[in-house]
Chain A
Amino acid sequence: MKLLSQALLFVLAILSFPLLASAEKKLAVQPYWLQLGHYRAAILTEWKSEVDSAQFFLASSGKTDPLAELTATIDAFNGKELTPVQTNKVRCQFPARYTWLKSKIDNSWPELNCIKLNQWEKTVNPAGITLVFPTAFMNNPSSMFGHTLLRIDAKDQNRNRELVAFAVNFAAQPNATDNAAAYAFKGLVGMYPGNFTVMPYYRKVREYNDIESRDIWEYKLNFSEQEIRRILLHLWELQNATFDYYFIDENCSYQLLSLLQLANENLDLTSSFDFQAIPSDTVLALKNNLLLQQPNYRPAFGTRLFHYSTQLSSQELQSARDLINDGDFDRSRYSTNRQAAILEMAYEWLNFNFNDQKLNRDSIAPRLKNLLYQRSKLDTTSPFTEPLKPIASPEQGHSSSRMGLTFANNNNYDNEIKLSYRLAYHDLLDHSIGYIPGAKISFFDIEGSFSKNNNSRLDHFYLIDAMSLAPDNEIFNSWSWNIRLGYDRQPDIDKKTGRYFTQGGYGKSFGNPNSIHSFVLGTIELNYGDITDKLEIGIGTELGTIWQITPHNKLALTGSILKLIDTKNTYHSQVALSWNWSFKTNWSLRSNINYKSWITNDTQAKLTLYHYF
């Protein structure tokens, strides 16, 4: 009987071959099929899949040929040259392809029947999907722009079960035997394969909220149960798939979008990202597709600690400090409630410093335990309130790329018109809503100028220009740093002369990035190029003050002076006064007066219109 039906199928297949072939050709270029295979338009071949693992493809040419892959998939689902057990296995390996194709072509395929998949769906018990966005973390190159992951919310979930929901994370899988430098380098250039993993959500909360002290935003996504099922079926297909992982594109955010867009056939979330996909942009892409709901907020360890400290008097803070250092404090002056506040503050503070400064566990752990023990003896509820959700969530900030048009008036040179472009992401004067305060990352920042004699030239190119200015105060012992790498021009006789440089600084900053914030850094640089005869080392200082009058209005005075070692010029310096007015979320006007000195000196006044996109 089985033989007969197979023979019949075979005959039918031969008869209908030309008809089927053209239908398959149409299907193979449908967006949903291309998304299922993670195909993107390529240069040498027409298509190329971003998936690198061979077992993700059923056709030997599947990585570059969506049609061959479609034919091979349909053949396999039809059981061609396969035993029934093998046929079912391949259907269960590709359940998203199966359900989609089942609705697209003539077939007599049964409903999916997969034991492991069913068990998994039962365990996950999905009712909703939440996009989780831990904000930027300056001390980790791969997280400078933030990170995104998904949380699958279960049907029986309440706020207390959120932590045990499943998180879906896309990350590079580093080789455990590589050293730190190799980790950083290979991670940045995409030498580690990336893949999807599923784990309890609390692991990610501990990692981002507590260990790295990053605020987390949680956006519930508008997907129906049917759409969520499609997403999870495809996630199942990806469990052994590996991808190249790059820093700027094809990263966690891009891959999450490529998974989410399988929710329905009309969704296209990835094609607008040809070059870069940084987390805040991908959040915006979801918002533009009306998929985002109002977010929840999980404050970082540091955010909580600082918020607690604002609820103590200076005397109480001193008592908390005594308690950390001596193991005790003068209780007689405090009510039970205030004693509880001091004990809780001391525990959080010591635990934060342990984590932040990598203190010795042997000396810290007994003190932490003792603090909790003393707290447990007080019969009162916690006196602290938790931090409120900030008014603006990250998707409300300016877009991450920027272009600018500048009119510049120079003291010693011709007037110029300048065009500038920055790939990403935020500087200290840009509109601060939605970005972490006191941090700057300019990535691929280029400016060219044109003067009236049709002289055009490259003014500057910064591959990276980053500053992390976490303020030092009585709660946090924070250090600030910066790094800059690129090319710019310095005043020379009759012209501006180019230099290649790399510069790093380390120091302290004070105040509040949301009002008045100052920094002073010790700095060292290497210069090379026409401005110098040989490799030249500069040592000096960089300092500045930024006054955020309102989030839309900022004034900054910055400067640097560096002693040049072993050359005829003894030093170079610069001072700049800037004012930035963000009159719309994605538009701002910036004026700047600066003085630069190297071989000669020059004063320049600039007016720039910026657009963020």
Chain B
Amino acid sequence: MKKIIAIAALSILPLTQAMADQDIGCGLGSMVFAGQEGKVVKVLGATTNGTSGNQTFGITFGTLGCDGTGPVTSTAKLSLFIDNNVDQIARDISKGEGEALATLTELWGFSEQDKATFSTLAKTNFSAVFTSENVTSQTVLENLNRLVANNSALSSYTLS
């Protein structure tokens, strides 16, 4: 809720910038669960081995952040990762292990011990993180962040 107050205070800024500040990270909103492009789309894009929409994120050469100007921040890196791997993250959280989850906790910056705490926390609260099949990656990140904020052992890792 702090965010909303902050936005109200910043509302004299140009609209786009205020909107961008509303999100943690980039807020691209891929849908979880079967959110990947189907094969038909792939066949179109893949005959030439290029990925359609390489430039979607404005990271044409790895130097630009999600708004296409500033450098990549660590939070942006985290939210881009979640956006692109949200299916795998959901799967790993349900098991409490896996590469996507390990990468997420690494990017979030948890210590080794707190990684385990986070994984258990997310697993036991699976339905609070993945609230419906139409949840977006942005909401997933916000829900995870809320869990972290409300947990006494992890609250220092809360993203702002």
Contacts and interface: CB of A to CB of B under 8 A. Distances in A.
A120 B133 contact: no
B72 A180 contact: no
A171 B72 CA distance: 24
B4 interface: no
A206 B40 contact: no
A171 B130 CA distance: 36
Interface residues of B, number: 58
A183 B103 contact: no
A204 B46 CA distance: 12
Nearest to B124: A376
Given A180-B44, A381-B97, A164 B62 contact: no
Interface in B83-104: 84-85, 87-88, 90-91, 93-100, 102-103
A375 interface: yes
Contacts of A375: 94-95
Interface string A190-215: 00100001111011101100111000
Q: Which of B40, B49, B105 has the most CB of A within 10 A?
A: B49
B47 A164 contact: no
B62 to A, nearest CB: 4
Interface in A29-78: none
Contact of B95 (A142, A366, A381): A381
B113 interface: no
Interface string A119-144: 11001100000000000000111110
A369 B43 CA distance: 27
A140 B40 CA distance: 12
Contact of A140 (B46, B60, B105, B124): B46
Given A161-B106, A354-B34, A365-B34, A381 B126 contact: no
Given A164-B81, A197-B60, A373-B127, A143 B96 contact: no
Nearest to B100: A163
Given A373-B127, A381-B96, A140 B43 contact: yes
Nearest to A239: B61
A372 B94 contact: yes
A192 B48 CA distance: 8
Contacts of B49: 140, 142-143, 147, 171-172, 187, 252
A160 B103 contact: yes
B97 to A, nearest CB: 6
A369 B132 contact: yes
Nearest to A344: B95
B63 A116 contact: yes
B77 to A, nearest CB: 6
A47 to B, nearest CB: 28
B2 interface: no
B62 A166 contact: yes
A534 interface: no
Contacts of A159: 99, 102
A176 B62 contact: no
A206 B61 contact: no
Contact of A365 (B46, B84, B134): B134
Interface stretch (A262-270, A356-364, A408-416): A356-364
Given A120-B62, A199-B59, A373-B127, A163 B34 contact: no
Nearest to A235: B61
A161 B103 contact: yes
A373 B94 contact: yes
Contact of A120 (B46, B61, B91, B95): B61
B63 A172 contact: no
Interface stretch (B16-24, B50-58, B146-154): B50-58
Contacts of A184: 47
Contacts of A171: 48-51
Interface string A352-396: 001110100100111011001101100001100000000000000
Nearest to A350: B34
Given A142-B49, A206-B84, A375-B94, A164 B63 contact: no
Given A356-B39, A368-B34, A123 B48 contact: no
Contacts of A210: 36, 88
B13 to A, nearest CB: 25
Nearest to A348: B91
A198 B61 contact: yes
B36 to A, nearest CB: 6
A174 B36 contact: no
A351 interface: yes
A183 B81 contact: no
Nearest to B60: A197
A180 B44 CA distance: 6
A380 to B, nearest CB: 9
A245 interface: yes
B94 A123 contact: no
Nearest to B90: A372
A369 B45 contact: no
Given A161-B103, A365-B33, A369-B33, A199 B63 contact: no
B62 A124 contact: yes
Given A369-B33, A373-B126, A376-B94, A199 B47 contact: no
A207 B97 CA distance: 22
A172 B50 contact: yes
Given A120-B62, A183-B47, A176 B38 contact: no
A612 interface: no
A202 B50 contact: no
A347 B91 contact: yes
A173 interface: yes
A376 B84 CA distance: 22
A123 B63 contact: yes
B122 to A, nearest CB: 9
Contacts of B71: 119, 123
Nearest to B36: A211
14 contacts: A123-B72, A160-B103, A161-B106, A164-B81, A171-B51, A180-B43, A210-B36, A210-B88, A239-B61, A245-B48, A355-B36, A358-B39, A368-B34, A372-B90
Given A159-B102, A365-B134, A368-B133, 19 more contacts: A123-B71, A124-B62, A140-B46, A140-B47, A164-B81, A169-B54, A171-B49, A172-B48, A173-B50, A180-B43, A184-B47, A202-B81, A203-B51, A206-B36, A207-B51, A355-B34, A369-B132, A373-B126, A382-B98
Interface of A: 116, 119-120, 123-124, 139-143, 147, 158-161, 163-164, 166, 169, 171-174, 176, 180, 183-184, 186-188, 192, 197-200, 202-204, 206-207, 210-212, 239, 245, 252, 340, 344, 347, 351, 354-356, 358, 361, 364-366, 368-369, 372-373, 375-376, 381-382
Interface of B: 31-34, 36-40, 42-52, 54, 59-63, 71-72, 77, 80-81, 84-85, 87-88, 90-91, 93-100, 102-103, 105-107, 123-124, 126-127, 130, 132-134
